[in-house]
Amino acid sequence: MDFKEKLLDSHLAFEQDVDLLHPIHDYRKKALKRFESDGFPTKSDELWKYTSLASIIQKDYHLSPTSESNIELKDVKKYFLNDIDSFKLVFVDGIFSPFLSKTTHDGMDICVLSAAISKSKYKKTIKKYFNKVVPENESLSSLNTSYTREGAYIFIPKNMEPEDPIQILHFSTGAQKSIWLQPRNLIVMEANSNVQIIERHQSLSDHKVVTNSVTEIYADSNSHVDYYKIQNDLLTSSLIDNTFISQEKDSNVSVHTFSLGGQLTRNNLRFYHKGSNISSTLKGLTILEAKQHVDHNTLVHHAKPNCESHQDYKGIFSDSSVGVFNGRIIVEREAQKTNAFQQNNNILTTDKSKINTKPQLEIFADDVKCSHGCTIGQLDKQALFYLNSRGIPEKEARALLTYGFANNVLESVKIPNLNKRIKKLIAYKLGVNLGFDL
């Protein structure tokens, strides 16, 4: 039995555990039908031209953990941001861990989706927002929708701002030899609200794990969202991250993606504009080695006038790693005075590394400024020599230049602790220890 059939068959068992009368169950059923007809994307699908899921979906996965696994705080503490007593939503093998988490209902809701589904006071919000920005034609999102059960639920009302950044952490323990996780996050920001969110997926042993995650973000007028995705998982885990963002007027959403680990990572990041004066920022830093494969597939849909979008993706590829960047900007006829910018720079350091990039513009309005730039090259030999000649060893010199290359993405990280953490991760990845801050 292939994995698609298993997913379809197992849905019956899944249905026994959920409330079939809840309105979102209609979405589940509809999405399952859609997935049944669409199936997994293949390379003949233009959006998946450079990324094959074949190696992932050939295998068999458990769809839910057979037993609850307990993990100690000390096992996972290092994945929390140090010194921050922040709100945390921790999921272990897809199941919420109240013991490791810190939630609140005080003035705002930072809790889990299963609670929001089951309690009637959230019904209105769920009905208004759930699955409203997820496109129907993306089969992996449909698959996630059909298995919607657990994930983060964040609701920030008007004029509110949580004091600390919110961390969403997904751990998989390896209690099963292989597991397929499908978290579903819903984030609703009312007018003038503010939030910073850090999301991380981490496996704790070298078992097979695939995460097919969907995150919906609704940013109402003048709200600010800073979303950071840290992808530094083990080489045995893969991640398909689907993030859909709907922005109202004057809102400002930025998403930073740091892709450092994982076997196969696919980021479907989509911004939909619903009002004017919107600003969207998409930044990514990818540093790969071994046989890693990262695919950034972005879309910014400019539908209203006077909006801005900035995309800046940097990639450094060594060993036999493969990078893919497919950035799409669509500017509708109504979206006059759009300012859309897209930049993708790549460095290949070995003979076997590959990069496929396709920065794409589709423009239907005339009074716009849209540009994209893309480069592929190596570290500047003269710059390296300059550093070498001043007594900086080869490895450190390379690291310095790499930092310089990546700095554009790092400088807009607004959480100082996170910034430091990422720099450390990069230093570790490059095998150097730089004794100063950059």
Partner 1 sequence: MIYCIFAYNLDVDIMAYTEEELKKNLETQEYEYGFYTDIDAETFPVGLNEKIIRKISEKKKEPKWMTEWRLESYEAWKEMEEPDWSSLKYEKPNFQNISYYSAPKQKPNLKSLDEVDPELLKTFNKLGISIDEQKRLSGVAMDVVVDSVSVATSFKDTLSEKGIIFCSISDAIKDHPELVRKYIGTVVPQKDNYYAALNSAVFSDGSFCYIPKGVKCPMELSTYFRINQAGTGQFERTLLIADKESYVSYLEGCTAPSRDENQLHAAVVELIALDDAEIKYSTVQNWYPGDKKGRGGVYNFVTKRGICHDRAKISWTQVETGSAVTWKYPSCILKGNDSIGEFYSIAVTNNFQQADTGTKMIHLGKNTKSTIISKGICAGKSQGSYRGLVKISPRADNARNFSQCDSLLMGNNCGAHTYPYIEAQNKTAQIEHEATTSKIGEDQIFYCNQRGIDTEKAIALIVNGFSAEILNKLPMEFAVEAKKLLEISLEGSVG
Task: Summarize as ranges the residues that interact with partner 1 (CB under 8 A).
Answer: 46, 50, 333, 336, 346, 348-378
- Rounded to whole angstroms, what are the CA distances from 315 to 202, 259, 361? 21, 9, 21
Q: CB-side exposure of 53: number of CA atoms within 13 Å?
A: 19
Residue 26, Cβ neighbours under 10 Å: how many? 11
- If the CB atoms of residues 336 and 419 are measured against partner 1, the closer one turns out to be 336
Least distance (Å) from partner 1 to the CB of residue 349? Answer: 6
Least distance (Å) from partner 1 to the CB of residue 369? Answer: 5
Least distance (Å) from partner 1 to the CB of residue 407? Answer: 20
Q: Which amino acid is at 403?
A: Y
- Rounded to whole angstroms, what are the CA distances from 181 to 67, 72, 203, 277, 402? 15, 21, 11, 37, 34
- If the CB atoms of residues 189 and 368 are measured against partner 1, the closer one turns out to be 368
Which candidate, 150, 205, 106, 192, places its Cα nearest to that of 18?
150
| Residues pairing with 269 in the sheet | 243, 298
Least distance (Å) from partner 1 to the CB of residue 185? Answer: 32
Least distance (Å) from partner 1 to the CB of residue 248? Answer: 24
Q: What is the C-alpha to C-alpha distance for residues 102 and 158, in angstroms, rounded to an integer?
A: 22
Phi, psi values for residue 400, rounded to 5°: -60, -45
- If the CB atoms of residues 114 and 336 are measured against partner 1, the closer one turns out to be 336
Residue 157, Cβ neighbours under 10 Å: how many? 14
- If the CB atoms of residues 25 and 372 are measured against partner 1, the closer one turns out to be 372
Least distance (Å) from partner 1 to the CB of residue 199? Answer: 29
In the block, which residue shows the tokens 């109240």? Answer: 98
Residue 104's SS3 state is strand
Q: What is the C-alpha to C-alpha distance for residues 227 and 255, in angstroms, rounded to an integer?
A: 5
Least distance (Å) from partner 1 to the CB of residue 226? Answer: 29
- Rounded to whole angstroms, what are the CA distances from 153 to 115, 218, 243? 9, 12, 14
Q: Which helix (H) or strand (E) holds 425?
A: helix 416-430
- If the CB atoms of residues 205 and 375 are measured against partner 1, the closer one turns out to be 375
Least distance (Å) from partner 1 to the CB of residue 219? Answer: 26
Whether residue 116 contacts residue 104, with contact meaning beta carbons closer than 8 Å, is answered with no
Instruction: Mention every residue, 6+ apart, whose C-beta is less than 8 A from residue 9.
Output: 1
- If the CB atoms of residues 4 and 337 are measured against partner 1, the closer one turns out to be 337
Least distance (Å) from partner 1 to the CB of residue 44? Answer: 10
